[in-house]
Structure 1
Amino acid sequence: MHKITYTLLLACCMLCNIAFAQKHNANYRYHIKRAQLPIKIDGLLNEADWQTADSAANFYMVLPMDTSFANVKTVVRMAYDNNNFYVSAVCYTPTPGYMVESLKRDFAFLKNDNFIFFMDPFDARTDGFSFGANAAGAQWDGTMYEGSKVDLSWDNKWYSAVKNFPDKWIFEAAIPFKSIRYKKGIKEWGINFSRNDLKTTEKSAWAPVPRQFPTAALAYTGTIVWDEAPPVATHNVSVIPYVLGGITKDFEHNKKADWRHDIGGDVKVGLTSSLNLDLTVNPDFSQVDVDQQVINLNRYELFFPEKRQFFLENGDLFANFGYADIRPFFSRRIGLNAPIRAGGRLTGKIDKNWRIGVMDIQTGQSSADNLPAQNFGIVTLQRRVFSRSNIAVMFVNKAGTGNAPNAGSTANDYNRNVGAEFNLASSNNQWTGKLLGLKSFTPGIKDHDYVQALNLQYLSKYWTLAIQQQYVGKNYVAEAGYVPRTGYNKLNPVIQHNFFPKSGIVLSHSIQASGIYYFDEGFKPTDNETILSYLITFRNRSTLTISGLDDYVKLLRPYDPTNTGKPMLPTGFESHWNTIDVQYASKPQSVFTYLVEAAQGGYYDDGRKTTLIGQVGYRFQPYVNLLLNASYNDLHLPAPYGHNKFWLIGPRADITFTNTLYFTTFVQYNEQARNMNINSRLQWRYKPASDLFIVYGDNSIPSPFTVKNRQLTVKWTYWWNI
């Protein structure tokens, strides 16, 4: 295992030479000029400044193939004044009409005709901002991280309009300089424009992007050249108060109705044009979308992403340190069982090469869980090296700040983590990797309390090659993080080869082999999974995947394979089985879409498991999007487990009366958890980034039907720029 680590480390060092290469699309330059007259955001483009602005056209096709210019024409223009920069896009269409899900914000990219642009104010090709809209006018915005990923949970103040015509649709937007972060005096920003047209199944970009990468890949941006340095936003302070009222009734324990009335809010202070201070007092997250449940047949804790607005801006500095299953800090730990009283975050860029994140959150006591008040302090610093790589360090401190309600003092209890990582990203994005080291400090625990991990990936048009190695000590503790498993060594290789037929209904097909192999700290095998897959993408963008899986598990602790409280299989119990899995997803351009998946194979204790998964969607453009998720697990096991059947059904309705008034209802029936949940939310965005929410929640036992609890909340927020 250590030989593999050294080999990967040597490969990373050799690849640093590749990382020095110049920017790939350096010749794609857009010259932006100051507007001479006010620009009205109405989608008409009848101002004189639009006629004299430079234009970006001649988009390149990315999908289905990346070897020619796009067939559908797109023309982009930009301008700016003291307060905003402006973007317009004329999106020509071969036939009248469009294809969208609804008017809801942050739509699914591949299921909508859309125009989106990706902006890198520091031209560092690692992080930035994304804005856009679908053809019906629904907005899309997010922060960018890791070179091509977009966090759509981020929300800020900006303005846009879309107008439809028989041969085109027009997008026009104003982005306030106060809503983004950039450095004073920098006159060249990274930029790329992306167009998705479902009728022609064509995705295109202004600066060409290889088909194996998303159009969001900042490694392939062109450049905005400003005629003068962009204006610096002055007095950049936003106050976002909220007022809340609500009622909660616990029927399960026959408690009286509990009336809620809270007030609190956030403050955002732009210390510089690229460094932001966020403050919060008594935050409330009742309007946050509920998590999508799953049938839990996993031996370890499940992961659910952060959705709370306060933690999102520059959230990658904290959330993406480490690996998906080795996170020294996970913000959802904060406020999980105790209320957040106050907090502050300082995040952003010091200059082109340095990023900083500092967070401090104070929670209150929790009588229900007998928890004392706690303080969470996190510091992370990131330094760019070579063209797109970086070195980062992090320190995490979780400490009790008082006594538990029903016990003695716990003020001295703490858990700390310190770590460093090197993130490799070559200039052309083909080579990526990470080298990670972590150490935890917990009272009474020492030795085997560290983490070492390394991965390397090569991604080209025809080949994907990757390998990941991890060691997590048995005494490593990250109480403020997400590390579901400890005391193991792990090896995860992947190899995939792609084929591209020149004609026929198949656009591409691939063979992939991968494996996840776990060993204990003495390198003795504990469990592993080997997967061989055949993947097909059709020219209409539907997909078919066929996989064969081979699983072996040696239990390291007792485990109930039904996760329903039945007797446990003992530590050391061994099981081996095979599974065949088939998945088909329909073409996204239809108003009726569906996904079906079926898996049949073995299970623990010589058992058998059948899994059926389905998703059906129908949209009445552009106002209604209906979706039904369902899964069924059928387990046949020897005594004492017997025959177990688990249904999970989750219908969802999104109704968008306008692009500022939304109604969502999400129902989830979980047979394994014996729970049915209803969450309904009405959101009125009466001004940009200012909302009125009415949220109803209900949890019940399905059979016999018994209401457990109900909640009704009304929340008002207002975004006030000072």
Structure 2
Amino acid sequence: MRFQYLAIFLFFFATTYAQQEDKSFTVKYINQEIKLDGILDEPIWSEAEAAGDFWEYFPIDSIQAREQSEIKMLYDETNLYIGITVYTAGSNYAIESLRRDFRAGNSDNITLLFDTFNDGNNAFLFGTNPYGVRREGLVSGGGLDLRGFTISWDVKWRGESKMYENYYTSELIIPLTSFKFREGERKWRFNSYRFDTQSNESSTWMQIPQNQNIYGLTFMGDMIFEKPLGKSRTPFAVIPYITTGWFNDREASLQESSVKVGGDAKISIGNSMNLDVTLNPDFSQVEVDDQVTNLSRFEVSLPEKRQFFIDNNDLFASFGGSRDANPFFSRRIGIAEDPDGNTIENPIVAGVRLSGKVNNDLRLGFFNIQTEKDALNEIPSVNNSMLALQHLVFSRSNIGLFFINKQTLGDDAFIVDEERYNRVLGIDYNLISADNTWSGKYYLHKSFQPESSGKDLSTGVNTQYNSRNWNIFTDWVYIGENYRSDLGFIRRTDIVKGGTGIRRTFWPENSIFNNHSFRIFPTFIWRPSQDMQNTDYSIRASWEGRFQDQSRVQAQWVNRYTYLFNSFDPTRTEGAVELPADSDYYYSSYQLEYNSDRRRIFAYGLEATFGDFYNGNRFSLEGSLNLRIQPKALVSVQFNYDKISLPDPYSSADIWLISPRFDLTFSKSLFWATLVQYSNQRDNLGINSRLQWRFAPLSDLFLVYTDNYFVDRFSPKFRSINLKLTYWLNI
């Protein structure tokens, strides 16, 4: 036993002190103008201190980068100026297109991360590529996984690039009002990561081991400002819009034209808080959701794409368990059900949203959003509000408190008593150790609704250990049968769920593999109201190999048990005989997956699943094909085929989902995107085509055409055309 304690102590000692020494550079204050042209020819750039000596992250994380990068920064009272020199092995760059907010991992680019509150939890992200295409985003939760990474956030800034032989330069001008920070601050934590497709190298300014995310906020250096930062000087932005549209709903025999006006306002409160106000918002320009084939018994969650909900979204959406017990899911707002159970839009009348830092350790989030009454569809007016607090403890962990209230207004006869209000109160502890070796979440939530009779708790424990060779986690959830969160995403109630996963990763030398790993992940679900009856389990065993050329292969075996409390048809065929209630099934399946080198002009991924499915069989083939026509176009196709074979009298089906997408970028300000989605499970062929002209920073003209057809008889279902103008005005 003493030997084990000694081994654990030595391991933690090694992981704590094996980190690279701190790196820093000084950001010089200037009083002269920088011309934005991507060319670093102003004399002041030669006086700026450089952040250099990048480390390789892939394929080897223990050596200096072969192709180096150099970052210089200057600032004045208004802007942060960034000059970047990126050295390359040639000029054969790979890019997706000229569209803003590009994906980074499959193209040449460099990204900058700014942790302005030095807390290791949240950061602003700005990136560019050799063509001067820009992207910006937010990182939350320490960057532990993709749930804390979004590039849906938008803010005003400028950037240009210039290509030379064997290197390119970029010049960025970011208004200080684009950041949130403490007045009088002298230091921000900083890191940068870069993808180089020609040398097949990823690199970072601070050395990061490959078992950590490249955008994680654990391994960061310091940027030291020559003089303290001042107060924000642009406290107010107004973003009005006007839209005109026409739609024809063939199912409802309804045709209508409309003109709509509204807008948003952004009001800075000090340097650290932001108040967002929306009035009569319109989301007609937002990209349509990607359709999915659903063979499960449960609802599928889709990501938020509306800009109003993005900024500081982690303050509201990170409570509870993201898969089973998320008490707040912003897509619930503005969506309702008609008397037939169909999901329809429920317009938002107005909303306010306050979020940001109160002081060094405390974050505050609050929103209040009112939705419109729709008497024709028996939908009442609803007030939706939430208060969230998050306080930093220890080095990077935090304690969060929240209160959610969904309140029905009015006294209409169609309002059911038990749905007049729903309230949820909860506390979360989020663990992130200083070196990211340990992370986890521990929470307790309680709901309140009319005639609540106990069993209305949701609680969970999640702990993860992550080292270079081992990743071990355990996750346990309890959701009472009367627990409700009407603004959340709760797959089902009355469960105790437990799962533990173990992954062992190997890093071979002189191999075609960069790394490969074995993983086992058993999950069990019990139902407390049925004397802890085991209702489900899945046991997954998998092997994954990542090649030196960035392609990837995976093989997986899954053994499942399912007890059906309610009848269910996995094919969702109209009029089909459903699998009966109170029946159980044992079934196993196999899965093979391959993803090619995504740096290539043509890249693809294929995944095949075959084996048992309930009391029958399943064969599924899923894939993606991507072709880049640089730098103007990206053509892609996503497809999913499922052959479900169940014995008579149950339904068998061939289910298709095919989604070609065409992205054309005529310039860095004019984009045309078209998405076609065919799903015979949903009986829908959908076309969404969007032309966007960004005529000024964050100011756009959209022309959006949407068309939907029934698949079985190929007749029109719904058609609309919208023209929308938005303009960002700083006051």
Provide the TM-score with structure 1 as the length reference. 0.95
Matched-pair contact (CA < 8 Å) for 2:571–2:651: no
Alignment of 1:322-471 (within 5 A): 322-324=320-322, 325-337=324-336, 338-404=346-412, 407=414, 413-471=420-478
Alignment partner of 1:705: what SS? coil
Distance 1:189 1:434 in 2: 27
SS of 1:263's equivalent in the other structure is: strand
Given that 1:182 and 1:274 are in contact with CA atoms closer than 8 Å, whether structure 2 keeps it comes out as: yes
Q: Of 689, 697, 707, which residue of structure 2 is paired with 1:698?
A: 707
Deviations 1:158-193 (A, max 9, x none): 111111112111121111111111111121111101
Mapped partners of 1:670, 1:380: distance in 2: 39
Q: Does 1:496 align with 2:503?
A: yes
- The answer to which of 243-252 and 467-476 deviates more is 243-252
Residue of structure 1 in register with 2:342 after alignment: none
1:513 and 2:520 correspond:
yes
2: distance between equivalents of 1:662 and 1:639? 50
**Partner residue in 2 for 1:219:** 218
Name structure 2 gaps, 5 residues minimum: 1-8, 337-345
The 1:23–1:305 alpha-carbon spacing in structure 2 relative to 1, beyond 3 Å, is: farther
CA distance in 2, matches of 1:188, 1:21: 23
Aligned identity (percent) is 36
User: Match for residue 5 of structure 1?
Assistant: none
**How much does 1:643 deviate?**
2.7
Please say if residues 370 and 383 of structure 2, whose CA atoms lie closer than 8 Å, have aligned partners that are also in contact. yes
Question: Partners of 2:629 and 2:16 in 1: how far apart?
Answer: 48
Contact 1:467 1:491 in 2 (8 A): yes
CA pair 485-23 structure 1, distance change in 2 beyond 3 A? farther
8 Å CA contact retained: 2:418, 2:450: no
Instruction: Encode CA deviations 1:559-586: one digit per residue, 9 max, x unaligned.
Output: 1121224233232211111111000000
Tell me if the contact between 1:403 and 1:409 (Cα under 8 Å) persists in the aligned partners: no
Q: Structure 2: which amino acid aligns with 1:297?
A: L
Deviations 1:112-161 (A, max 9, x none): 11100111001100002000112222211111101113211111111111
Mapping of 1:215-614 within 5 angstroms?
215-255=214-254, 257-324=255-322, 325-337=324-336, 338-404=346-412, 407=414, 413-521=420-528, 522-565=531-574, 566-604=576-614, 606-614=615-623
Do 1:265 and 1:281's aligned partners in 2 also have CA atoms closer than 8 Å? yes
Mapped partners of 1:231, 1:47: distance in 2: 25
Alignment correspondent of 1:50: 45
Give the 3 Å change call, closer, same or farther, for CA 36–22 of structure 1 in structure 2: farther
Q: 2-side partners of 1:367 and 1:553: how far apart?
A: 41
**Residue identity matched to 2:114:** M
Q: State which of 675, 689, 692 in structure 1 corresponds to 2:698.
A: 689
RMSD (Å) for aligned C-alpha atoms = 1.7
Q: How far apart are 1:97 and its partner, in Å?
A: 2.0
The 10-residue stretch of structure 1 (548-557 or 420-429) with the greater mean CA deviation from structure 2: 548-557
Relative to structure 1, the CA distance from residue 408 to residue 492 in structure 2 (aligned partners, 3 Å threshold; closer, same or farther) is closer
Q: Which amino acid aligns with 2:645?
A: H
Structure 1 residue 63 corresponds to structure 2 residue 58 = yes
Q: Is the 8 A contact 1:417 1:439 kept in 2?
A: yes
For 2:605 and 2:369, how far apart are their aligned partners in 1?
41
CA offset at residue 523 of structure 1? 2.7
Task: After TM superposition, give the deviation of residue 353 of structure 1 in Å.
Answer: 0.5
1:650 aligns with 2:659: yes
The answer to whether the 8 A contact 1:373-1:403 is kept is: no
CA distance in 2, matches of 1:321, 1:139: 31
Contact 1:25 1:222 in 2 (8 A): no
- Secondary structure of 1:317's counterpart equals helix
Alignment pair present for 1:35 and 2:30: yes
The 3-state SS of whatever aligns with 2:291 is coil
Per-residue Cα deviation, 1:401-427 (whole angstroms, up to 9, x for no partner):
1244x6368698100000000000000
Structure 2 partner of 1:8: none
| Residue aligned with 1:658, SS | coil
Distance 1:245 1:76 in 2: 45
Once the two structures are TM-superposed, the CA of residue 556 in structure 1 deviates from its matched residue by: 2.3
Shift of 1:35: 2.1
Letter aligned with residue 368 of structure 2 = D
After TM superposition, the structure 1 = structure 2 runs for residues 4-43 of structure 1, keeping only pairs within 5 Å, are: 27-43=22-38
Cα distance in structure 2, aligned partners of 1:642 and 1:234: 65
The C-alpha deviation readout for 1:528-563, integer Å capped at 9, x for no partner, is: 111100100000000000001101101122211212
Q: How many positions carry a matched residue from both structures?
A: 703
How far residue 371 of structure 1 moved from its aligned partner, in angstroms, is: 1.1
Residues 269 and 275, structure 2, Cα contact 8 Å, conserved in 1: yes
User: Against the structure 1 CA distance between its residues 412 and 107, is the aligned structure 2 distance closer, same or farther, given a 3 Å change threshold?
Assistant: closer
Question: C-alpha offsets along residues 390-448 of structure 1, whole Å, 9 cap, x if unaligned?
Answer: 000010000011244x6368698100000000000000111100001000001012211
Whether 1:179 and 2:174 are equivalent positions in the alignment is no
- Aligned-partner Cα distance in 2 for 1:402–1:433: 42
Give the distance between the partners of 2:290 and 2:111, measured in 1 at CA. 27
User: Residues 380 and 415 of structure 2 are in contact (CA less than 8 Å); yes or no, is this contact kept in structure 1?
Assistant: no
Higher RCO by CA contacts (8 Å cutoff, separation 6 or greater): 1
Q: Contact (CA 8 Å) 2:503, 2:517: kept in 1 or not?
A: yes
Hey, what's the Cα distance between the residues in 2 that align with 1:201 and 1:520? 50
For the 8 Å contact 2:579–2:650, the answer to whether it is kept is no
What is the CA deviation profile of residues 222-264 of structure 1, one whole-angstrom value per residue up to 9, with x for unaligned ones? Answer: 1111111113212410000001001001123333x31120000
Distance 1:412 1:493, change over 3 A: closer
What is the deviation of 1:108? Answer: 1.6
